[in-house]
């Protein structure tokens, strides 16, 4: 069974069971077809399965109402329609199921079988699924449910974690903390064995200048992300939890480095860079 046919069968089963009045468990349906519930939920929301069902039901009602009002609107006609209400409901369910059964049939074209509003998006998704690896496509589907604020929040946390981790990776003990890096290793074989090694020395001031510059740039990017997040919060797009978590992070950052210290750090970076350049010139 191809991936497309599989999704078509899942959609048909979900729609038919929903028409029958059953509250379909996505977890159970996902388990039956061996897919992740989050992937199924994402697909259902993206392709607007429930909206499709509502559209079909509305169009079926419109057709029934048109037929009912074509004749003379007499008391006997209204009584007859009321008595046949249950039969009409059964016919409506049957018609809706017929439309569902025709999904995927290119020859089944009619008012009740027009594609849902999200059809263009579904076509685009089909294009992605054709070219992206399964693992990437699964992540692509799961990301569909992440809103803009949560995406920004994840970016903020990743950036902040990278800044904290850099403290230990780029740590400079003191001014005598020199790192030797083997830049080139050459062995010449001939009448005599010759070995050449070229070392690159990273002095403390070079390493520290690089660290401060990288940290300053990273903090600038972090502040930009936080600013974007706060702009969305100010527009009323955030829940209370989303609002509080950014406030907590801002307090932590302010404790680590306020704006005045940040300016001093930038001045310090420039001073260190000048010293490092001067020392490099002196060392040849």
Residues 126-162: tens digit of each pLDDT? 677 677 777 777 777 777 667 778 888 889 999 989 9
Task: Give per-residue pLDDT as tens, 70-82.
Answer: 445 555 555 555 5
CA-to-CA distance for 138 and 275, rounded, in angstroms? Answer: 51
Residues 7 and 139 in one domain: yes
Is residue 152 domain-shared with residue 137, that is, in the same domain? no
Helix/strand/coil for 202: strand
Whether residues 131 and 166 fall in one domain: no
46 Ramachandran zone, left/alpha/beta (phi>0; psi -120 to 50): alpha
14/27 same-domain check: yes
CATH of the domain at 216: 1.10.287
Residue 226 and residue 160: Cα distance in Å, rounded? 11
By CB atoms closer than 10 A (0-12, 13-18, 19+), residue 40 is buried
Task: Please tell me whether residues 134 and 9 are part of one structural domain.
Answer: yes
Band (169; pLDDT cuts 50, 70, 90): confident
Does 166 lie in the same domain as 42? no
Is the pLDDT score of 111 beyond 50?
no
Q: Pick from 119, 143, 167: which residue ends a domain?
A: 143
Instruction: Examine the domain organization and report whether 78 and 120 are in the same domain.
Output: yes
* pLDDT band at residue 64 under the 50/70/90 scheme: low
Q: Which residues, including other chains, have CB under 8 Å from residue 152's CB and lie 6 or more apart?
A: 225, 228, 229, 232
Do residue 82 and residue 214 come from a single domain? no
Run of H or E residues at 200: strand 194-202
Q: Which of 28-42, 78-92, 121-135, 152-166 has the lowest mean pLDDT?
A: 78-92
> How many domains does the chain contain in total?
2
**Are 31 and 133 members of one domain?**
yes
Q: Which of 122, 143, 164 is the last residue of a domain?
A: 143
**What pLDDT does residue 265 have?**
53
The secondary structure of the chain in percent helix, strand, coil, rounded to multiples of 5, reads 70, 5, 25
Candidates 111, 99, 100; CA nearest to 11 is 100
Same domain flag for 99 and 174: no
- Kindly report, residue by residue over 210-234, the tens digit of the pLDDT: 888 888 898 889 889 988 888 888 8
Q: Do both 97 and 173 map to the same domain?
A: no
Residue-range definition of the domain harbouring residue 63: 3-143
Q: What is the pLDDT of residues 245-275, one digit of tens each?
A: 888 887 877 776 554 445 555 555 555 555 5
Which of 91, 126, 143 is the last residue before a domain boundary?
143
Shared-domain flag, residues 139 and 7: yes
Q: How many H-runs (helices) and E-runs (strands) does the chain carry?
A: 12, 2
pTM confidence score: 0.42
């Amino acid at each position: 069974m191809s991936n497309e046919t599989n999704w078509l069968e899942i959609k048909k089963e979900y729609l038919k069971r929903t028409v029958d009045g059953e509250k379909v468990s996505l977890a159970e349906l996902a388990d039956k077809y061996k897919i992740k519930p989050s992937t199924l939920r994402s697909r259902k929301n993206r392709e607007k399965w429930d909206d499709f069902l509502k559209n079909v039901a509305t169009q079926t009602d419109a057709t029934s109402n048109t037929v009912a009002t074509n004749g003379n609107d007499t008391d006997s006609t209204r009584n007859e329609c009321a008595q046949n209400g249950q039969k009409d409901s059964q016919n409506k369910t049957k018609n809706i199921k017929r439309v569902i059964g025709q999904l995927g049939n290119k020859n089944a074209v009619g008012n009740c079988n027009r594609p849902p509003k999200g059809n263009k998006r579904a076509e685009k998704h089909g294009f992605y699924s054709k070219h992206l690896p399964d693992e990437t496509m699964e992540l692509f589907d799961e990301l569909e449910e992440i809103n803009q604020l949560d995406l920004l929040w994840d970016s903020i946390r990743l950036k902040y974690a990278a800044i904290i981790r850099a403290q230990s990776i780029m740590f400079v003990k003191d001014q005598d903390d020199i790192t030797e890096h083997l830049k080139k290793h050459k062995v010449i074989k001939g009448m005599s064995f010759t070995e050449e090694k070229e070392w690159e020395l990273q002095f403390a001031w070079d390493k520290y200048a690089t660290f401060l510059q990288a940290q300053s740039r990273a903090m600038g990017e972090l502040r930009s992300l936080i600013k974007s997040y706060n702009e969305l919060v100010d527009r009323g797009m955030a829940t209370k939890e989303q609002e509080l978590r950014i406030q907590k992070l801002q307090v932590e950052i302010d404790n680590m480095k306020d704006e005045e210290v940040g300016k001093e750090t930038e001045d310090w970076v420039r001073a260190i860079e000048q010293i490092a350049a001067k020392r490099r010139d002196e060392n040849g």
